[in-house]
Structure formats: C-alpha cells, structure tokens
Amino acid sequence: MVFTKNRPQKPLTPGTEPAYTAFMSQFDSDMPWNEEHFGSDCPESGGQAAATKVRPKPETKEDEGLLTPWNVVLLDDDHHTYEYVMRMVSKIFGHNVARAFEVAKTVDSQGRAVCMTTHKELAELKVDQIHSFGPDPLMAESAGSMSAVMEPAESDGEGDDELDSQDSPDTP
C-alpha cells in the first residue's frame, strides 16, 4: 500500500509490490509470526491457539527495594539553650516554632529526642548538619555543636513517634 496524504489507498496487485517487500522476505523465517515458530496451533493456520508458557516468579525478600527507616536522635549535653536548639531544628529539619520547642523540651527532660525518621543517607546528612551547626553563642561554656546519632527506626515509619507519644495529653 502506498500511504499518501489525502489520496485514496489502493491495494497492491501482484507484480506491483515495492522493492522492500522482496528484501524483507529474507527475514521471514526469523519472525515470530512465522507459522514454523507456532506450529500447527497457530490460529492463522486453522489450528488451536498455542498455550502460554508461564515463567516462575523469582523469589524475593518482602522488603527488597524498600529503604530502611532511620531515626535522627538529638542528644542533650546541658551546654546549649532552648533558643539554640529551636533555631537549629527549625533550620535543619524545617520544624515550626511549636514543634521546635517540643523537641527542645524533650531533649532537656529526657536526654534525647527523635527529630526525623527517614532513609539512611538523609539521616547521615542530618546528623552531620547537627554536628557542624556550631557552638551556642548565648552560652559561654558551649564549646561546640550538639551531639546526634542515628539509629534504625523500630516504628512503622510514621516518624517522630517517640516524641509525639510522650507529649500527647491523652497518653496514660
């Protein structure tokens, strides 16, 4: 068939085949639609449809491909003010003032607070950012940044579960 714009299509008649048809016929034996590949079950040959072969699924672990959650835990050292902690967690983690105050209060009262739950690479980055934040300018005895660690999250990935459950009023 000749495909042209705005012209009626004419069927090919024997002897008027384009040159590429003869050239492509040399590959017909390799093509998947060739009857030899399907045998007599090929629908075009009047036989039955061929059965589909099902490959077994490879065994995979349930959590393969998923990132393991890690907690970024801020540790108390009594050499930093609430203002410093609030400014740091706001700048590094993007917490609002109320959330930053809750983190500062939890660090002061319990000695640690989960600031973020995320994948390992981002947790490593956040720990490094805490360690490089610098000393507290409001305290003369503050010699450096606060300490932070990362640990595997034991929760279901909701993030900050430890801090939220400690400060909620309906917790017994």
Instruction: Give the pLDDT confidence of 61-119 residue by residue, as tens digits.
Output: 665 667 899 999 999 988 999 999 999 999 999 999 999 999 999 999 999 999 999 99
Q: How far apart are CA 86 and CA 84, in angstroms?
A: 5
- Strands, sheet with 147-152, edge to edge from the N-terminal-most edge strand: 112-119, 69-75, 147-152
Specify whether the CB–CB gap between 150 and 73 falls below 8 A.
Answer: yes
Structure confidence by residue, pLDDT tens digits, 3-59: 555 555 555 555 555 555 555 555 555 555 555 545 555 555 555 556 677 777 776
168 confidence band (pLDDT: 50, 70, 90): very low
Break the chain into its structural domains and give their ranges: 69-165
For 137-166, what is each residue's pLDDT tens digit?
A: 999 899 999 999 999 998 544 444 444 434
pLDDT at residue 124 in the model: 97
Strands 147-152 and 112-119, by their bridges, are unpaired
What's the pLDDT score for residue 56? 79
Q: Is the pLDDT of residue 120 over 90?
A: yes
| pLDDT for the residue numbered 170 | 40
What's the whole-model pTM score?
0.54
Contacts for 49 with CB less than 8 Å, ≥ 6 apart? 41, 43
Its CATH architecture, for the domain 69-165, is 2-Layer Sandwich (3.30)
Q: How large is the average pLDDT for residues 120-125?
A: 96
Q: Where are the beta strands (DSSP E) in the chain?
A: 69-75, 112-119, 147-152
Decide if 111 contacts 60 (C-beta within 8 A).
no
